[in-house]
């Protein structure tokens, strides 16, 4: 009897899912850098626009390079359908805005990226959509925040930059009992470490700018979920136009082929840095989900394959000490990105989270001495040596 053919694995599918070839027998899949597609006849143009025929029309609606990127991500996240966007923030905005109407209510984890909280506190209220923010570590708080018109739950796990976690399964159960949809920003974990849809999330969003690109070159985002919901998201995106560039999609698709290898190395390096800095005399606290000292360590082990590529530290001596540390780094870059092959140090209080109030920052665990370390792929010993030198005496 022939052996049953086993399902191809995560890496095989990331590598072998591809757009149609051009006819030149090229091995690497080409980039389809075109804004529109040609109609064979006026009637075909009419039928394509009317939806009476299938086919490509215009790259704001669909493009083979963009579709390849979405198809790979759907496979990796275990999602039915998806829409790619020009940035991660376009994905956050389109996912929420396409699901809510005036009068609707959103419940959101307090620990979300600054721009996501600005969308919910300063943009959507103009259209009559209100948000209640809840602490990330208390699933019951989501239940207490419910209102009759609660339509969407939104969370990010692990969070930027506090590395707080959300119990996806527990929060998804509460959302579904209330008839709400649960959106999870999976940017920090990537589908290699955690697949929120398999834990009950309805929609998964991404900033592909981070680990998916992995080399700090292009911006991108994605929204993934069941076909029925994504149909509404696609209508919203088609009309409002946050389309991903085919060139960026091509770069991102290529990068997905090595996602698991790169993320594994990011995690190994980050965990080594976190363990080295726990108990370091110049560091008050090192936060990393796979450290036993992380308050949600057990959840991290249950929900994630590994702890991720970020380590957040509180430098002893507050802001002057944090600034001194960042200025004394010789290899690690001073920048605001993350998920890059190059390690990056960021001072959230004065850069990425400068627009928040001090109270909001404290709620997110952003202290004057907090530094976010996006650990890259350089040799571990060199990363640690640079950090040790920067934290050391003159």
Q: Which residues are near ligand PLP by CB under 6 A? A: 87-89, 92, 113, 156, 160, 185, 187-188, 207, 209, 219, 221
What phi, psi does 389 have (nearest 5°)? -65, -45
SS3 state at 322: helix
**Cβ atoms of 101 and 77 closer than 8 Å:** no
Which residue number is nearest to ligand PLP in terms of Cβ?
A: 88
Starting at the edge strand found earlier in the chain, the sheet holding 310-315 runs 283-287, 310-315, 370-374, 344-346, 333-334
Query: How far lies 358's CA from each of 156, 350, 362, in Å?
Result: 21, 11, 6
Judged by beta carbon, residue 65 or residue 207, the one nearer ligand PLP is 207
Judged by beta carbon, residue 72 or residue 206, the one nearer ligand PLP is 206
Judged by beta carbon, residue 156 or residue 340, the one nearer ligand PLP is 156
Smallest gap from residue 185 Cβ to ligand PLP (A): 5
Smallest gap from residue 344 Cβ to ligand PLP (A): 11
Smallest gap from residue 360 Cβ to ligand PLP (A): 16
Judged by beta carbon, residue 59 or residue 190, the one nearer ligand PLP is 190
**Cβ atoms of 79 and 224 closer than 8 Å:** yes
SS (H, E, C) 273-318: HHHHHCCCCCEEEEECCCCCCCCCHHHHHHHCCCCCCEEEEEECCH
Judged by beta carbon, residue 111 or residue 321, the one nearer ligand PLP is 111
What distance in Å separates the CA atoms of residue 19 and residue 14, rounded to the nearest whole number?
A: 12
Structure tokens at 294: 């992380």
Judged by beta carbon, residue 18 or residue 115, the one nearer ligand PLP is 115
Judged by beta carbon, residue 113 or residue 133, the one nearer ligand PLP is 113
Smallest gap from residue 316 Cβ to ligand PLP (A): 26
Smallest gap from residue 300 Cβ to ligand PLP (A): 16
CA angle 271-172-242, nearest 5°?
80
Smallest gap from residue 383 Cβ to ligand PLP (A): 21
Smallest gap from residue 328 Cβ to ligand PLP (A): 25
Which DSSP string do the residues of 180-245 spell out, in sequence order? -EEEEE-TTTHHHH--GGGGT-SEEEEETTTTTT-SS----EEEEE-HHHHHHHHHHHHHH--BPP
Judged by beta carbon, residue 245 or residue 321, the one nearer ligand PLP is 245
Smallest gap from residue 377 Cβ to ligand PLP (A): 19
Give 144: exposed, middle or buried? Use CB within 10 Å, 0-12, 13-18, 19+. exposed
| Residue whose token pair is 């905005």 | 93
Judged by beta carbon, residue 282 or residue 313, the one nearer ligand PLP is 313
Judged by beta carbon, residue 173 or residue 336, the one nearer ligand PLP is 336
SS3 state at 258: coil
Smallest gap from residue 215 Cβ to ligand PLP (A): 14
Closest by CA to 251, choosing from 290, 216, 302, 283, is 216
SS3 state at 131: strand
Strand 203-207 and strand 181-185: the pairing is: parallel
Starting at the edge strand found earlier in the chain, the sheet holding 203-207 runs 81-85, 221-225, 203-207, 181-185, 150-156, 105-109, 130-134
Smallest gap from residue 221 Cβ to ligand PLP (A): 6
């Amino acid at each position: 009897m022939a052996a049953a053919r086993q399902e191809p694995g995560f890496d095989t599918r990331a590598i072998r899912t591809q757009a149609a070839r051009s006819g030149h027998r090229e091995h690497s899949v080409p980039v389809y850098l075109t804004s529109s597609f040609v109609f064979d006849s006026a009637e075909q143009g009419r039928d394509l626009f009317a939806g009476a025929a299938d086919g490509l029309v215009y790259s704001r609606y669909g493009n083979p390079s963009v579709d390849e990127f979405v198809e790979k991500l759907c496979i990796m996240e275990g999602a039915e359908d998806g829409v790619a966007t020009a940035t991660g923030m376009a994905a956050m905005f389109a996912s929420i805005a396409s699901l809510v109407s005036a009068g609707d209510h959103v419940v959101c984890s307090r620990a979300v990226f600054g721009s996501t909280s600005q969308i919910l506190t300063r943009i959507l209220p103009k259209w009559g959509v209100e948000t209640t923010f809840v602490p990330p570590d208390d699933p019951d708080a989501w239940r207490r925040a419910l209102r009759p018109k609660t339509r969407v739950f939104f969370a990010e796990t692990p969070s930027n930059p506090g590395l707080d976690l959300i119990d996806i399964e527990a929060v998804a159960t509460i959302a579904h009992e209330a008839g709400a949809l649960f959106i999870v920003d999976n940017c920090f974990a990537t589908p290699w470490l955690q697949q929120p849809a398999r834990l009950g999330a309805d929609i998964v969003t991404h900033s592909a700018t981070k680990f998916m690109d992995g080399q700090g070159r292009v911006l991108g985002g994605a929204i993934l979920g069941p076909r029925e919901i994504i149909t509404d998201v696609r209508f919203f995106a088609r009309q409002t136009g946050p389309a991903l560039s085919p060139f960026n999609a091509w770069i991102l698709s290529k990068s997905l082929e090595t996602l698991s290898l790169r993320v594994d190395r990011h995690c190994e390096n980050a965990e080594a840095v976190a363990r080295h800095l726990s108990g370091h005399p110049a560091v008050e606290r090192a936060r990393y989900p796979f450290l036993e000292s992380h308050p949600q360590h057990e959840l991290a082990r249950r929900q994630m394959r590994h702890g991720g590529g970020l380590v957040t530290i509180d430098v002893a001596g507050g802001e002057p000490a944090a600034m001194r540390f960042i200025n004394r780094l010789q290899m690690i870059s001073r920048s605001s990105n993350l998920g890059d092959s190059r390690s990056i140090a960021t001072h959230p209080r004065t850069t990425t989270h400068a627009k928040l109030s001090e109270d909001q920052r404290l709620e997110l665990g952003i202290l004057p001495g907090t530094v976010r370390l996006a650990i890259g792929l350089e040799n571990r010993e060199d990363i640690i040596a640079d950090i040790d030198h920067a934290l050391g005496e003159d």
